[in-house]
Amino acid sequence: MKKGIHPDSYRLVVFKDMSNGHSFLSRSTADAKETVQWEDGNEYPLVKLEISNTSHPFFTGKNVLVDTAGRIDKFKKKYAKK
């Protein structure tokens, strides 16, 4: 691995899947504006995700339709043939 091209600021971060509430702790350089108390009692930066491996249809085998604020309806309305 080349020296000097990878960030040195790795730290523990909690990632939370907002579609199903699943959270996991991992090392990352991602910026976070919020913090959360983890199961071990320590406080870590929180990064919110719209989808993760616990909610993505490819990994779950279930076809779940997530309609956030009518995005599908907006798309159909925008590209409907007139």
Q: What is the pTM of this model?
A: 0.64
Mean pLDDT within 2-7: 85
Read off the pLDDT of residues 19-73 as tens digits, 9 standing for 90 and up.
888 899 999 999 899 999 999 999 999 999 887 767 765 556 666 566 666 777 7
Residue 52 burial (C-beta neighbours within 10 Å; 0-12, 13-18, 19+)? middle
CA 58 to chain centre: 16
Note the pLDDT of residue 54.
74
- For 25, other C-beta atoms within 10 Å of its C-beta total 14
Q: Domain ranges in the chain?
A: 11-79
